[in-house]
């Protein structure tokens, strides 16, 4: 009994959190989207630094999440009107990350309690926010669920339980697959250390996802100099059309 109280004190004691800290390594802190970009795998590994011996009690668990840049998303629902399926209701989900992957070292509800999830917004459901939803639309909750469902199908959202390997409660590693349809921006990798479902330490670092080379030039040009971009597209098209016509005429004449 005394031991339990002692443990509870430890859990509630803020200084406790600082006793175990993450030292992190990434296989790459920059993902370059090149012309032949076909997805990427990021290896996330690290160690737990502590001054004191490993605390007794529930073992250390690790959660790693990688979050893409958040953007508002319009979700539309189809309904049957006049015999065909038409978009009718729509709702804006204020913030939905373009990419979200969570890896854990044990089943999710064992590594994190519900209240801690609410506080740190770790699970996919918590990461999406739709405050101020239009209550005149029936089933506003369905819209947020649709975002999760569609993006899970596209491989953009995923929860991968038991994919973080933890050795001796000190070393951990996992790899996060990133699909080829990535949006560029600043991605955040978050690491949570938990004991008995409570977060004891967090660590955050950023991963830069950028289009580079030709992709970068073309994208920037299409946004910043749309007129020149359009003219360039036309020039390429006309040159290709002329080239093809001439080449095949020469072939036929020979």
Partner 1 sequence: MHIYLPIAEVSVNAFLLFGLGGMVGVLSGMFGVGGGFLMTPLLFFIGIPPAVAVATEANQIVASSFSGVLAHFRRKTVDLKMGTVLLIGGLAGAALGVVVFNYLKSLGQVDLLVKLCYVVFLGIIGSLMFIESLNAIRKSRKAGAPPPKRRQRGWIHAMPFKMRFRTSGLYISVIPPVIVGLFVGVLSAIMGVGGGFIMVPAMIYLLGMPTKVVVGTSLFQIIFVTAFTTMLHATTNYTVDVVLAVLLLVGGVVGAQIGTVIGSRMPAEQLRVLLAALVLAVCGKLALDLLLQPSELYSLGNAGGH
Q: Which of 9, 30, 54, 248 binds partner 1 (CB under 8 A)?
A: 248
Indicate if the alpha-carbon torsion angle 196, 198, 204, 208 is positive or negative.
Answer: positive
Any contact of residue 210 with partner 1 (CB under 8 A)? no
Letters for 187-206 (x = contact with partner 1 by CB under 8 A, - = none) are --------------------
Tokens of 140: 């506003």
Number of CB atoms found within 10 A of residue 178's CB: 21
Closest Cα to residue 30, out of 213, 210, 220?
Answer: 210
Size of the site for partner 1 (CB under 8 A): 62
Any contact of residue 86 with partner 1 (CB under 8 A)? yes
Measured distance CA(191)–CA(24) in Å, rounded: 9
Q: Helix (H, G, I), strand (E, B), or coil: what is residue 15?
A: helix
Tokens of 194: 């938990």
Any contact of residue 223 with partner 1 (CB under 8 A)? yes
Q: Which of 49, 76, 114, 210 binds partner 1 (CB under 8 A)?
A: 76
Show contacts with partner 1 in window 164-183 (CB under 8 A): 180-181, 183
Show contacts with partner 1 in window 35-74 (CB under 8 A): 35-39, 71-74
Closest Cα to residue 188, out of 166, 167, 203?
Answer: 203
Any contact of residue 218 with partner 1 (CB under 8 A)? yes
CA 120 to chain centre: 15
Any contact of residue 143 with partner 1 (CB under 8 A)? yes
Q: Buried (b) or exposed (e) across 150-173, using 16+ Cβ within 10 A?
A: ebeeeebbbbbeebbebeebeebb
Number of CB atoms found within 10 A of residue 112's CB: 24
* Minimal distance, residue 64 CB to partner 1, in Å: 25
Any contact of residue 226 with partner 1 (CB under 8 A)? yes
176 vs 209 by CB, closer to partner 1: 209
* Minimal distance, residue 253 CB to partner 1, in Å: 12
Measured distance CA(7)–CA(18) in Å, rounded: 16
17 vs 146 by CB, closer to partner 1: 146
Which residue's entry shows tokens 């040159």? 239
Measured distance CA(61)–CA(123) in Å, rounded: 15
* Minimal distance, residue 223 CB to partner 1, in Å: 6
Any contact of residue 23 with partner 1 (CB under 8 A)? no
Any contact of residue 242 with partner 1 (CB under 8 A)? yes
Residues making contact with partner 1 (CB under 8 A): 33-39, 71-80, 83-87, 90, 92, 142-143, 146-147, 149-151, 153, 180-181, 183, 211, 214-216, 218-219, 222-223, 226-227, 229-234, 236-238, 240-242, 244-246, 248-249
């Amino acid at each position: 009994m005394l031991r339990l109280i002692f443990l509870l004190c430890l859990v509630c004691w803020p200084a406790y959190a600082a006793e175990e800290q993450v030292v992190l390594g990434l296989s790459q802190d920059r993902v370059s989207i090149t012309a032949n970009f076909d997805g990427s795998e990021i290896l996330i590994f690290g160690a737990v630094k502590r001054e004191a011996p490993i605390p007794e009690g529930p073992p250390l668990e690790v959660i790693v999440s990688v979050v893409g840049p958040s953007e508002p998303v319009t979700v539309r629902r189809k309904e049957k009107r006049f015999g065909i399926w038409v978009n009718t209701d729509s709702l804006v989900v204020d913030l939905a990350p373009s990419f979200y992957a969570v890896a854990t070292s044990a089943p999710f509800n064992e590594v994190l309690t519900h209240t801690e999830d609410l506080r740190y917004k770790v699970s996919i459901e918590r990461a999406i926010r739709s405050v101020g939803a239009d209550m005149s639309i029936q089933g506003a909750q369905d819209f947020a669920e649709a975002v999760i469902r569609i993006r899970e199908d596209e491989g953009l959202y995923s929860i991968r339980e038991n994919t973080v390997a933890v050795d001796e409660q000190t070393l951990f590693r996992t790899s996060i697959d990133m699909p080829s349809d990535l949006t560029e921006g600043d991605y955040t990798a978050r690491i949570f250390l938990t004991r008995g479902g409570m977060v004891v330490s967090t660590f955050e670092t950023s991963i830069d996802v950028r289009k580079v080379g030709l992709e970068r030039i073309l994208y920037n040009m299409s946004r910043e100099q749309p007129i020149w971009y359009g003219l360039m597209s036309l020039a390429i098209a006309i040159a290709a059309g002329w080239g093809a016509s001439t080449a095949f005429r020469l072939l036929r004449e020979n």
